[in-house]
Amino acid sequence: DAGVTQSPTHLIKTRGQHVTLRCSPISGHKSVSWYQQVLGQGPQFIFQYYEKEERGRGNFPDRFSARQFPNYSSELNVNALLLGDSALYLCASSTWTNEKLFFGSGTQLSVL
C-alpha cells in the first residue's frame, strides 16, 4: 500500500511569491495534518483537517491556508513568502481514532 505522498519533493521560490504543496493520505485515512519543520527544530503544527473541515490550527499567520478535498487529499497554500518560511513541510494522515500518525517524506521549501 502507498504511504502518505507529498509533492513536490523540493521547491525553490523567491520572497513574495506564493506556493501550493500537495498531500495524498494513506487510503482510508480521513484526517490530514500539516507541520512545518525548520532546520534543527521539531515539527510545528500548522493545520489539521478531517472530513474536509478544519479541526485545528496552529500559531501561524493568515498567509498560511489549507483545504481538504472530497478524496481526502489536501493542499497547503502559503502566500507572500518570507525567508523564514524556508523549511520542510510535512503532511501526516491518520484515521480519526487511531493514535498512529503517518508522515509523508515532506516538501523541502527554500525561499530566496
Partner 1 sequence: RKEVEQDPGPFNVPEGATVAFNCTYSNSASQSFFWYRQDCRKEPKLLMSVYSSGNEDGRFTAQLNRASQYISLLIRDSKLSDSATYLCVVSLDFGNEKLTFGTGTRLTIIP
Among residues 11, 30, 45, 67, which is the contact residue for partner 1, using CB under 8 A?
Answer: 45
Q: For residues 26 and 4, is the Cβ–Cβ distance under 8 A? A: yes
And the C-alpha cell for 35? 507541520
Q: What is the CA radius of gyration of the chain?
A: 13
Q: Answer yes or no whether residue 96 interacts with partner 1 by CB under 8 A.
A: yes
Among residues 19, 43, 68, 107, which is the contact residue for partner 1, using CB under 8 A?
Answer: 43
- Count of Cβ atoms closer than 10 Å to residue 60 Cβ: 16
Q: Answer yes or no whether residue 74 interacts with partner 1 by CB under 8 A.
A: no
Output the smallest distance, CB 50 to partner 1, in A.
Answer: 8
Among residues 24, 25, 33, 68, which is the contact residue for partner 1, using CB under 8 A?
Answer: 33
Amino acid at residue number 38: V
Q: Answer yes or no whether residue 27 interacts with partner 1 by CB under 8 A.
A: no
Closest-CA residue to 4 (of 66, 91, 85, 89): 91
Task: State the residues that interact with partner 1 by CB under 8 A.
Answer: 31, 33, 35, 40-45, 48, 55-56, 58, 90, 94, 96-101, 103-106
